[in-house]
Amino acid sequence: MRRVATQPKPQSERTFIWYLLATLALPLMNWLGRYDIIDRQKVPQRGAFVLAPNHYSEIDPVVMGAAVWYSGRVPRFMAKASLFKVPVLKALLKASGQIPVERAGAMRGNDPVAAARTLAKQESAVVVYPEGTLTRDPDLWPMRGKTGAVRLALEAGIPLIPAAHWGTQRIMARYSKSISFWPPRKRVVIKFGDPVDLSAFEGRPLDSQTLNAATAVLMDAITALLEDLRGEKAPAERWDPSKNNQKETGRF
């Protein structure tokens, strides 16, 4: 695949900790799979943005992080707050600029949206999974989205970039506790989309009606990208855990 030239990044973005993480993670990820990145030029090369991908395997963040790195940027994530309680991991997460967020109940500590807006002021890329957890859809299509990604983009006034990938389930199946290290390397395809047009929602109160409508637009964009990668049509109705007696988070 032809590589797209990228502009040099601000020196402060790719810090020592990020080069260390890349040195540790990328050789292993390249052993596990081969990655085709489509339309990487759509990843903004400067300035803050929210990247919103689909989510169906627990190895997805590493794959998407690698794709963002190969596209010339450094990814930050909304990470489970519980991870910040592990001493060594806490130091690593903080040093790399990850954002703690509670998965359920009242938010504790710093508001994750406020923290992410700070990263936006620092012109960082923030990866937010709009589904909030691994999709419950039986065929791994994107399910009903939550509003965090669009809220962040609208409040901070930054681009919202949809993305989709297909193939990570061959490396680590949904809810599996094991990774497939056996050859051959698994093919994973990642595709970035054009910024989601949120102009219809700008200037409106960010109430549930506005945020839900904007999230539906985002989920349509992500689903369209995945349809292109899979060569299939997604179900007409997006999967809704609440309508199928499923919990919003956790394994099932």
What is the pLDDT averaged over residues 34-56? 96
pTM of the model: 0.87
pLDDT of 156: 87
Query: Tell me: the pLDDT tens digits for 116-131?
Result: 677 777 888 999 999 9
Q: Would you say residue 106 has pLDDT above 60?
A: no
| Dihedral over alpha carbons 235, 240, 241, 242 (to 10 degrees) | -150
Buried b (16+ CB within 10 A) or exposed e, 135-161: bbbeebbbbbbbbbbbbbbbebebbbb
CATH topology of domain 33-244: Glycerol-3-phosphate (1)-acyltransferase (3.40.1130)
Measured CA to CA, the distance from residue 187 to residue 192 in angstroms comes to 17
The residues, ordered by sequence, that sit 6+ positions from 27 with a Cβ below 8 Å of its Cβ are none
Query: Tell me: the pLDDT tens digits for 131-152?
Result: 989 999 999 999 999 998 999 8
Query: Tell me: the pLDDT tens digits for 169-203?
Result: 999 999 998 999 988 999 999 999 999 999 999 88
Q: Please state the φ and ψ torsions of residue 148, each to the nearest 5 degrees.
A: -60, -45
